[in-house]
A and B are shown apart, each in its own frame.
Chain A
Amino acid sequence: MQRRLKIGVLYSRVRVEEKWIFGAMEKRGIDYDRLDDRAISFDLEKPEAWQQYDAVLERSISYNSGLYALRLLNAFGVPTVNTAAVAEVCGDKLMTSAVLARDGVPQPHNVTAFSTEAALEAIEAFGYPVVLKPVVGSWGRLLAKINDRDAAEAVLEHKSTLGSVQHSVFYIQEFIEKPGRDLRIIMIGDKVLTGMYRSSEHWITNTARGGSGELCPITSEIEDICLRASKAVGGGLLGVDLVEHPEKGLVVNEINHTMEFHTMQPVSGLDIAGEIVEYVVKTARTLAPHASAGVKDEL
């Protein structure tokens, strides 16, 4: 018996990345559904509606929507890219730091505290400047570079008073004097696909904040740290952000599980969307229940 693979793509907005992914699906003649995370619902008594998919690619902009969708899909036995376990770790900077520390992967020095008093004490012990980051969030938003005690007291009070409960987890990181750039490396499975330098005169070098991209040759050092980082968080389709630390060398700053690549694709000249689609198809063939039953797929 032969059956066509069926793929789902969960998304919030059709960004250029999603357009490229949809285009890559269509170019390959893949049977896929576009699943708008604002329009879907999960009936736990009717998992069949979701079990029609041999794999689901998660591209939600909302971390919470994406994470809970992945948890439900994985509970229904639907393979996903990435898995809920990987999203849990990568979507939370503290969890990422914890698994990197567990596996001895180089990262910036971090301290976490749960009260403004303990956070202030930790910041003073660090010395200034330091960086305060929300544990959940992206695109370089709500990062605070703290230059002195006055700023520390003000930002901590604002975060604890105005922020959500998550802002009372104070994730404090050393400020790294990086050379005006960081590195974004794309990992697909256990392969380093490509990478770029992201440059900016601002201390936040995220391209979502106006940083520009330039192709970065993949050295054995980059490959090694990215493979270790990927393994630590559970592997999959990942955007690993590295920083050149003046003393420690390359360190992992964060790992993105639904990475954007609108700058990377033109900079690298690679069909990243096509590579992503190939990886999703491979995941479906490897992990989908019918695949393990020996049913041959036909695209």
Chain B
Amino acid sequence: MSTVNCPECEAEITFAEGTEAGEIIVCPDCGVDLEVTAIEPAAVQLAPMEQEDWGE
């Protein structure tokens, strides 16, 4: 099981099964949005801030 520390609050985060690179997860401790940048070894970074032209 891949684990990583939150870059904001250092909480230990375990990836759920089926987590993919590029996915956004939420730190269960501080609630910040994180982007999964790699699965093995596990890596995350703060997710980019929402831009004005984002949407569907």
Contacts from A to B (Cβ < 8 Å):
11-15, 18-19, 22, 34, 36, 61-64, 134, 136-139, 141-142, 164, 208, 239, 256, 258-260
Interface centre among B21, B23, B47 (most CB of A within 10 A): B23
User: With A13-B35, A62-B51 given, is the CB distance from A256 to B56 under 8 Å?
Assistant: yes
New contact pairs (16) apart from A13-B23, A14-B23, CB-CB < 8 Å: A13-B22, A13-B24, A13-B35, A22-B20, A34-B22, A63-B53, A63-B54, A134-B52, A137-B55, A138-B56, A139-B54, A141-B55, A142-B52, A164-B52, A256-B55, A259-B56
Docked complex Cα distance between A136 and B53 (Å) = 6
Docked complex Cα distance between A11 and B52 (Å) = 17
User: With A13-B22, A19-B20 given, is the CB distance from A258 to B53 under 8 Å?
Assistant: no
How many residues in B have their beta carbons less than 8 Å from beta carbons of A? 15
- B4-45 at interface with A (beta carbon < 8 Å): 18, 20-24, 35-36
Docked complex Cα distance between A142 and B24 (Å) = 23
Option from B22, B47, B54 in Cβ contact (under 8 Å) with A138? B54
- Flag if B56 contacts A239 (CB, 8 Å): yes
Contacts from B to A (Cβ < 8 Å):
18, 20-24, 35-36, 47, 51-56
Docked complex Cα distance between A18 and B21 (Å) = 11
- Flag if A62 contacts B53 (CB, 8 Å): yes
- Flag if B53 contacts A19 (CB, 8 Å): no
Docked complex Cα distance between A64 and B20 (Å) = 25
Docked complex Cα distance between A13 and B56 (Å) = 12
- Flag if B55 contacts A36 (CB, 8 Å): no
Contacts of B24 in A (CB 8 A): 13-15
Contacts of A63 in B (CB 8 A): 53-55
Closest 4 CB pairs of A and B: A138-B55, A14-B22, A63-B53, A14-B23
User: With A13-B35, A62-B51 given, is the CB distance from A139 to B56 under 8 Å?
Assistant: yes
Contacts of B51 in A (CB 8 A): 62
Closest to A139 in B: B55
How far is the CB of B42 from the nearest CB of chain A, in Å? Answer: 15
How far is the CB of B22 from the nearest CB of chain A, in Å? Answer: 4
Contacts of B22 in A (CB 8 A): 11, 13-14, 18, 34, 36
- Flag if B56 contacts A14 (CB, 8 Å): no
Contacts of B52 in A (CB 8 A): 134, 136-137, 142, 164
Docked complex Cα distance between A136 and B56 (Å) = 11
- Flag if A64 contacts B21 (CB, 8 Å): no
Docked complex Cα distance between A19 and B18 (Å) = 9
**28 interchain pairs, CB-CB under 8 A:** A12-B54, A13-B23, A13-B24, A13-B47, A14-B21, A14-B24, A18-B22, A19-B18, A19-B20, A19-B23, A22-B20, A36-B22, A62-B51, A62-B53, A63-B53, A63-B54, A134-B52, A136-B52, A137-B52, A137-B55, A138-B54, A138-B55, A139-B55, A141-B55, A256-B55, A258-B56, A259-B56, A260-B56
